[in-house]
Amino acid sequence: MSPHTGPRARTRVRATTRDADAMAVIAFVLGLVGLLVMNLLLGPVAVVLGALALRRRTTRPARAQLAIALGLTDVLVLACLVAADGTWSWSLT
């Protein structure tokens, strides 16, 4: 029996898949929250986690891709806010 096909290898693959799935979900949530607060921080984190989840072969690739899109949108929203009023924060007045 090859050392790469034993129970430890299967457990390692399942753990990696679970980690990638968790990254995809966390990236998605951070991308959503980033639309409202802390765009500068949460947007890039969502992009990086979404890309890592895709690279680690998540079983939720659509969620990871959406997280990347939301992260990029976070940065775009921040750029629009900065261009509109010249500040790095939300302003209601």
Average pLDDT of each block of 10 consecutive residues along the chain (93 residues)? 57 72 94 90 95 92 96 92 75 55
The residues, ordered by sequence, that sit 6+ positions from 18 with a Cβ below 8 Å of its Cβ are: none
What is the reported pLDDT for 53? 94
Write down the pLDDT at residue 88.
67
Confidence at residue 1, expressed as pLDDT on a 0 to 100 scale: 46
Question: With 0-12 CB in 10 A as exposed, 13-18 as middle and 19+ as buried, what is 71?
Answer: buried
Single pTM value for the model: 0.77
pLDDT of residue 86: 77
